[in-house]
């Protein structure tokens, strides 16, 4: 992959193409190597450098019947289908029962941004679970958050 460089004051900013991050993410790579050749007025510099890409898990929070998902990474992350399972209580046996299940399509969460899933109240439901999976470092991660509805 070819990188681009710009000079700012006395520093050189090297822009790594998004495709490099996408491939690194896809294969679970956490270290990217960069070969650098700089042409000087009386010679040149050649070097190989590596840096760690710190892939981070999505950050979930629940507040006021919403689940917010924050993507702290350099690339977009796609979730699986998102399942919202509404739960209630069986009055006779006093055990949890499934009231209804909603399946939402997969979503693409952009880099450094939030996605909010609204979980509206439902008759006979006291709480709900929001569940989905996504890939991180080449592995599948399962997420579940409980949302209180009453």
pLDDT at 5: 85
Backbone angles phi, psi at 18, to 5 degrees: -55, -35
pLDDT at 82: 98
Backbone angles phi, psi at 76, to 5 degrees: -70, 150
Residue matched to tokens 């409980």:
146
* CA distance linking residue 25 with residue 29, whole number of Å: 6
pLDDT along the chain (150 residues), means of 10: 84 88 85 88 91 93 96 94 96 94 97 96 95 91 94
Strand partners for 68: 61, 116
Pure H helices in the chain:
18-26
* CA distance linking residue 133 with residue 115, whole number of Å: 15
pLDDT at 18: 86
> Cβ(147)–Cβ(119) under 8 Å?
yes
């Amino acid at each position: 992959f070819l990188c681009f460089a710009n000079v700012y004051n006395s520093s050189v900013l090297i822009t790594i193409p998004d495709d490099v991050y996408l491939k690194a993410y896809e294969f679970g790579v956490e270290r990217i190597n960069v070969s650098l050749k700089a042409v000087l007025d009386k010679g040149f510099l050649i070097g190989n450098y590596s840096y760690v890409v710190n892939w981070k898990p999505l950050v979930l929070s629940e507040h006021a019947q919403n689940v917010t998902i924050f993507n702290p990474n350099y690339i977009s992350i796609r979730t699986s289908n998102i399942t919202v399972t509404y739960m209630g209580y069986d009055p006779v046996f006093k055990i949890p029962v499934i009231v209804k299940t909603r399946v939402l399509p997969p979503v693409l969460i952009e880099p450094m941004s939030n996605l909010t899933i609204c979980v509206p109240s439902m008759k006979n439901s006291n709480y709900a679970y929001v569940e989905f999976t996504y890939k991180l470092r080449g592995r599948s991660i399962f997420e579940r958050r409980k949302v209180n509805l009453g």
